[in-house]
Amino acid sequence: MTNGTYIVDSIIGEQTVITNSMIEESTVADGVTVGPYAHVRPNSHLAKNVHVGNFVEVKGSSIGENTKAGHLTYIGNSEVGANVNFGAGTITVNYDGQHKFKTVIGNNVFVGSNSTIIAPVELGDNSLVGAGSTITKDVPADAIAIGRGRQINKDEYAKRLPHHPDNK
């Protein structure tokens, strides 16, 4: 553990590395790496060899063995299986303004960067979520889910806007 690390009423396993992070009322198993600048909030459980990286927040969630959330990720009220990879900027949306809901993510799931998973939803084992997706429905095992608008390019359109050099 480094300076700037705060641990409150938590159980920390052997060979765990925590760098400039906060862990509250949670259980962290052996071989876990946390941080820098991560926040593990109450009622979370990180299984063996989990990696919770830079600016990752985990709240009220169970994270399975060998799962990685490298950076800029929020995992709230979720049950996450083993060998899951969260791309940068992934958010499990757990609150609709009135109620909290749970996300369930199976084993060996890959979630592409900048994805939003809106609970209640379940991602089946071995499924994939395409980068930039908003997931609002269950994803079956072995499936890929892509939930984003298709890019549209409008040629010459920028020339009509006031900021374009031709309009100054």
45 classed as catalytic = no
Whether the CB-CB separation of 120 and 77 falls below 8 Å is answered with no
Reduced to 3 states (helix: H, G, I; strand: E, B; else coil), residue 76 is strand
DSSP conformational letter for 10: -
Omega prior to 165 cis, within 30 of 0: no
CA distance 33 to 111: 20
DSSP conformational letter for 164: S
Catalytic residue among 39, 45, 71, 164: 71
CA distance 142 to 167: 51
Query: Which residues belong to the active site?
Result: 71
